[in-house]
Amino acid sequence: MEMPQVARKPLRRVAGLHALWFSCFRSPREQNRRGTNWRDDRWGAEDFSEKTRFLSPVPPENKAESKGKPLFFAWFVRSRGGDTGKDYRILKEKTAIGKSEDSDIVISNDFVSRNHALLSYEDRKFILNDLQSTNHTYVNDKKISRRILKDDDLVRFGDALYEFKCL
């Protein structure tokens, strides 16, 4: 007795999926007998520890390698004032901030001292030091002398407001 035409199509689909499933997901014993397939790594057969590189803002051991490359990724974004939206990238381990032309980040503002603050990168942390400026340095509206900065901290030098960003 022959099956009706409608019942054959779903049966063929199921048989096709069954064959696809077993061709892709064979047991380790069958893989050794039949050869390898694209799922070899599912049992942890391949070790990626030597192939994996971790990207971090840590300076390399050899200082000659890092010449001309930034050691970490951080910047200040002007939040209020004439240069709103302007960013100042931090490219050194010690970054001087102030009104002086010798500063790494020059802030042209009457309420900023010539040598207002120093941002340093130590032990994978950004540390902001106020250099006894006249109008002080504030982080998140708190007066500081020394403070570890975190991403999205609001930093005020005199009355110039910046947002600190880091990766």
Amino acid 129: pLDDT: 96
For the four alpha carbons of 60, 63, 64 and 66, in that order, the dihedral sign comes to positive
Residues belonging to the chain: 167
107 or 16, higher pLDDT: 107
**What percent of the chain clears pLDDT 90, i.e. is strictly above it?**
42
Which structure tokens are listed for 58? 């840590």
The pLDDT of residue 162 is above 90: yes
- pLDDT-derived band of residue 24, with 50, 70 and 90 as boundaries? low
Amino acid 153: pLDDT: 96
Asked if residues 94 and 71 have their Cβ atoms less than 8 Å apart, the reply is no
Between the two ends of the chain, the Cα-to-Cα distance in Å is 71
- pLDDT-derived band of residue 71, with 50, 70 and 90 as boundaries? low
The pLDDT of residue 62 is above 60: no
Query: Can you tell me the distance from the alpha carbon of 21 to that of 16, in angstroms, rounded to the nearest whole number?
Result: 9
Query: Can you tell me the distance from the alpha carbon of 132 to that of 8, in angstroms, rounded to the nearest whole number?
Result: 87
**Model-level pTM?**
0.57
Side chain identity, residue 60: P
Average pLDDT over residues 20-32: 53
